[in-house]
């Protein structure tokens, strides 16, 4: 599979994993390994970043893994910047998944605060990957202020509803100059494959793996689906056709025309 490049860093895997909702840290760790991912998100609110022996963090001390701290829980740009600075200082990374949701129920991202925070964090030297609604105009504005990627949602987080925002995602993918990572709502390997077939650069999955009957096997299923979707996209996936067509090309010579 071709490499994914974000802010100059190369990734062999195009599957990102969230680390919440797992039944134990051990299952989470083994799912991370089985998925082949190189990028996992960690909610700052869930870990004690100042504690070396934090249990969740300890399970993620794996050589191939990059930690992507996320700001889930903050409600505005000001809190996001504070959380980001704490993450950088404690976890020694300037990478950040920016999540600002003033709505605690559906955790829908606030576009205005997100744009404001991205601009400020980029100036402070952060590599920012913002979680956003599938809004093509917002994506371009984020590009203008120096975002490293965009992470539009497929459907509400944790809903397993797949790519309900497909029409907008297609516009975002068409227009984007930074990697597009489809985040939230991916509930089945087929959804992940579909996102990749549409041309997404990567997908982020959490709930669908964490609460599966066997999260470790499900992580591998997602790995294969992302791989298959990317291969299909890179090799000019045939478009759906409404009228039946013979699978062998028509032989024009039979028509006897010049």
Partner 1 sequence: MLNHSFTQIFNQFNWEEVCSRINNSTEEDVKRALNKSGRLIPEDFMALISPAAKNHLEELINKSYSITRKRFGNTIQMYIPMYLSNECNNVCTYCGFSLGNKLPRTTLTDEEILNEVAVIKAMGYDHILLVTGEDNQKVGIEYIAHAIEIIHLHFAHISLEVQPMEKEEYEKLISFGLNTVLVYQETYHEKNYKIYHPKGRKSNFNFRLETADRLGEAGIHKIGLGVLLGLEDWRADSFFTALHLHYLNKTYWRTKYSISFPRLRPAEGDFEPKYPMSENELLQLICAFRIFDENVELSLSTRESQTFRDKIFELGITSMSAGSKTDPGGYASNIHALEQFHISDDRTSAEVAEVIRSRGFEVVWKDWDVVMQ
Catalytic residue annotation = 97
Query: Least distance in Å: CB of 159 to partner 1?
Result: 8
Question: By C-beta, is 24 or 175 nearer to partner 1?
Answer: 24
Query: Least distance in Å: CB of 237 to partner 1?
Result: 31
CB atoms within 10 A of CB 7: 15
CA torsion, points 228, 230, 236, 237, in degrees to nearest 10? 50
Query: Least distance in Å: CB of 82 to partner 1?
Result: 5
Query: Least distance in Å: CB of 76 to partner 1?
Result: 9
Contact residues: partner 1, CB under 8 A: 20-25, 44-48, 73-75, 79, 82-83, 86, 102-106, 158-160, 207, 210-211
Question: By C-beta, is 74 or 173 nearer to partner 1?
Answer: 74
Structure-token pair, residue 173: 């993918």
Return the beta strands (E) in the chain as ranges. Answer: 4-6, 9-11, 15-18, 39-43, 66-70, 95-98, 127-132, 151-152, 181-183, 202-205
What span, in angstroms and rounded, lies between the C-alpha atoms of 207 and 1? 25
Query: φ, ψ for residue 95 (rounded to 5)?
Result: -85, 145
Question: By C-beta, is 213 or 240 nearer to partner 1?
Answer: 213
Residue 75 Cα distances to 80, 112, 149, 151, 225, angstroms: 8, 11, 21, 18, 34
Question: By C-beta, is 44 or 138 nearer to partner 1?
Answer: 44
CA torsion, points 242, 247, 253, 255, in degrees to nearest 10? -40
């Amino acid at each position: 599979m071709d490499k994914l490049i974000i802010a100059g860093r190369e990734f062999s895997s195009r599957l990102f994993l969230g680390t919440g909702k797992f039944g134990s840290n051990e299952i989470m760790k083994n799912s991370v390994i089985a998925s082949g991912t190189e990028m996992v998100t960690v909610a700052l609110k869930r870990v004690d970043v100042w504690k070396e022996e934090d249990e969740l963090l300890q399970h993620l001390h794996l050589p191939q893994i990059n930690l992507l701290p996320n700001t889930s829980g903050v409600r505005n740009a000001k809190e996001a910047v504070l959380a980001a600075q704490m993450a950088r200082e404690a976890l020694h990374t300037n990478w950040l998944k920016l999540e600002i949701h003033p709505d605690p129920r559906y955790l829908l991202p606030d576009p205005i605060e997100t744009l404001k925070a991205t601009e400020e964090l980029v100036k402070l030297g952060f590599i920012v990957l913002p979680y956003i609604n599938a809004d093509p105009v917002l994506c371009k504005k984020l590009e203008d202020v120096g975002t490293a990627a965009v992470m539009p949602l497929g459907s509400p987080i944790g809903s397993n509803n797949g790519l309900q925002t497909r029409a907008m995602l297609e516009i975002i993918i068409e227009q984007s100059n930074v990697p597009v990572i489809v985040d939230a709502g991916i509930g089945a390997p087929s959804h992940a494959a579909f996102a990749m077939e549409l041309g997404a650069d990567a997908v982020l999955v959490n709930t669908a793996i964490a609460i599966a009957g066997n999260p470790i096997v499900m992580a591998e299923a997602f790995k294969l689906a992302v791989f298959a979707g990317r291969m299909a996209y890179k090799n000019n996936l045939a478009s759906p056709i409404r009228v039946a067509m013979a699978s062998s090309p028509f032989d024009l010579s039979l028509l006897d025309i010049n």
